């Protein structure tokens, strides 16, 4: 408790950001030693002015720090600091790791140090997913979880929440990185998801309790998402999506970047396609990811279509190829397949029974 007190205190000194904090710890090893150091000695640390050294010496808001520690205990929130052996080694390696992580839930195998750190991947994308994006996010996240890969994402609507839920459904591990304090569930409709991750995964933030989900917090959060991960998978994203920030940060951190291609006329494919053009790895199956992040997968045959497709009659093949992962009205299917209305309903029903199509409201159909 006493050690945590000094970590939180140094974090509250005005002007001490993540990079300066890291440099101080590299020199003095502990925040307590920083507070004990002479002003002139502190001023020798790269980037630390004499005024900042004085600010450290005159800091006396330990009452505020003690109240924060009490609030953390009441909220069942723990602290991971740069000096903690359980601090994730991959995150520690980035340029500006958060000196203090607020965590809630169970400590997963990403907290065991560099040698034992389990495989992790960030799964990110748009908040406004298409049916195709939802399907791909769910399938890839489940498949990765089944291979022991921890799914890291940002708890937002859309791709993030689908990835978290898919990992939990597969019995896997997931880490939610918030852009607010851990006492704030945002978006509010994710309360059940928050509870489930708290019980079976890990919830992380660099922001203290009481911090609201303001816009400028989210780009900062993104470096933690990528920093915790071996690679970053972008499913659907527009050209201005924050997911591209996460992908760029992953590249800067020396992590793998993966992207799922989509329809060329979809604005949500523009982001992944730009990443692929810039050198990101195109993902068609889960093995495209596993071969890069799991060494044991580099020497084994790739698994493609583990389950064979059901046998299809010629008419079923024609209609199946007309279907898309985006909903199509039955009238459009009739026009594109050139099948009479009297027969296409029966073919669609057969495809549904074979698990290859799904009917939606208003006589719309999607490929499964």
* CATH code of residue 110: 3.40.50.450
Number of domains composing the chain: 3
Q: Is residue 80 part of a domain?
A: no
Domain check: are 205 and 331 in the same one?
no
E-only strand ranges, 9-85: 78-81
Domain check: are 191 and 285 in the same one?
yes
Domain check: are 169 and 260 in the same one?
yes
Tell which of 299, 323, 352 closes a domain. 299
Domain check: are 33 and 131 in the same one?
no
User: Rounded to whole angstroms, how far apart are CA atoms 20 and 200?
Assistant: 34
Domain check: are 350 and 288 in the same one?
no
Domain check: are 218 and 344 in the same one?
no
Domain check: are 140 and 200 in the same one?
yes
DSSP 203-240: EEESSPTT----TTHHHHHHHHHHHT-SEEEE-S--TT
Q: Is residue 122 part of a domain?
A: yes
Per-residue pLDDT at 303 exceeds 50 = no
Tell which of 245, 270, 299 closes a domain. 299
Domain check: are 224 and 195 in the same one?
yes
pLDDT at 197: 97
Domain check: are 115 and 250 in the same one?
yes
Q: Is residue 309 part of a domain?
A: no
Mean pLDDT over the full length of the chain: 89
Tell which of 54, 69, 84 closes a domain. 69
Q: Is residue 12 part of a domain?
A: yes
The mean pLDDT of 161-184, rounded to a whole number, is 97
pLDDT at 299: 45
> For 160, phi and psi rounded to 5 degrees?
-55, -55
**pLDDT, tens digit, 9 for 90 and up, residues 311-321:** 677 778 778 87
Segments forming the whole domain that contains residue 329: 314-367
Domain check: are 228 and 351 in the same one?
no
User: Rounded to whole angstroms, how far apart are CA atoms 248 and 267?
Assistant: 19
Task: Give the CATH number, domain containing residue 56.
Answer: 1.10.150.20
The model's pTM = 0.80
Task: Give the CATH number, domain containing residue 351.
Answer: 1.10.10.10
Q: Is there a cis peptide before residue 282, judged by omega within 30 degrees of 0?
A: no
**pLDDT, tens digit, 9 for 90 and up, residues 84-99:** 999 999 999 998 899 9
User: Rounded to whole angstroms, how far apart are CA atoms 276 and 260?
Assistant: 9
User: Strand 202-205 and strand 281-282: pairing?
Assistant: unpaired
Q: Is residue 304 part of a domain?
A: no
Q: Is residue 88 part of a domain?
A: no
**pLDDT, tens digit, 9 for 90 and up, residues 100-131:** 999 999 866 555 444 457 899 999 999 999 99
Please report which helix (H) or strand (E) contains residue 105, including its range. strand 100-105
**pLDDT, tens digit, 9 for 90 and up, residues 19-66:** 889 999 999 999 999 999 999 999 998 888 899 999 999 999 999 999
Q: Is residue 221 part of a domain?
A: yes
Domain check: are 213 and 359 in the same one?
no
Q: Is residue 202 part of a domain?
A: yes
Domain check: are 283 and 349 in the same one?
no
């Amino acid at each position: 408790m006493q050690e945590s007190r000094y970590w939180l205190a140094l974090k509250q000194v005005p002007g001490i950001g993540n990079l300066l904090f890291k440099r101080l710890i590299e020199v003095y090893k502990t925040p307590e030693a920083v507070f004990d150091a002479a002003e002139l000695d502190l001023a020798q640390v790269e980037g630390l002015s004499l005024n900042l050294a004085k600010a450290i010496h005159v800091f006396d808001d330990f009452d505020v720090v003690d109240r924060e520690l009490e609030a953390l205990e009441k909220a069942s929130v723990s602290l991971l600091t740069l000096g903690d052996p359980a601090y994730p080694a991959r995150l520690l390696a980035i340029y500006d790791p958060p000196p203090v992580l607020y965590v809630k839930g169970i400590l997963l195998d990403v907290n065991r140090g560099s040698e034992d750190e389990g495989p992790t991947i960030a799964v990110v994308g748009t908040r406004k997913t298409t049916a195709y994006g939802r399907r791909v996010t769910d399938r890839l996240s489940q498949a990765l979880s089944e291979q022991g890969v921890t799914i890291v994402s940002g708890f937002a609507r859309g791709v993030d929440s689908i990835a978290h839920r898919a990992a939990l459904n597969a019995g896997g591990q997931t880490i939610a990185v918030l852009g607010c304090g851990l006492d704030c569930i945002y978006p509010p409709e994710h309360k059940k998801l928050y509870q489930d991750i708290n019980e079976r995964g890990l919830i992380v933030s660099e922001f203290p309790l009481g911090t609201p989900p303001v816009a400028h917090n989210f780009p900062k959060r993104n470096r933690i998402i990528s920093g915790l991960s071996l690679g970053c998978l972008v499913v659907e994203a527009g050209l201005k999506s924050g997911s591209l920030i996460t992908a760029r940060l992953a590249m800067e951190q020396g992590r793998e970047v993966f992207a799922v291609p989509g329809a060329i006329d979809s604005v949500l494919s523009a982001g992944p396609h730009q990443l692929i053009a810039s050198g990101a790895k195109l993902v068609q199956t889960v093995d495209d990811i596993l071969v890069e992040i799991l060494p044991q997968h580099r020497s084994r045959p790739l698994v493609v279509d583990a389950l064979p497709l059901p046998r299809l009659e010629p008419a079923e093949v024609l209609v199946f190829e007309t279907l898309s992962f985006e909903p199509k009205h039955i009238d459009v299917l009739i026009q594109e397949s050139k099948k009479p209305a009297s027969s296409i309903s029966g073919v669609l029903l057969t495809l549904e029974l074979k698990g290859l199509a799904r009917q939606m409201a208003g006589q719309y159909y999607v490929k499964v």
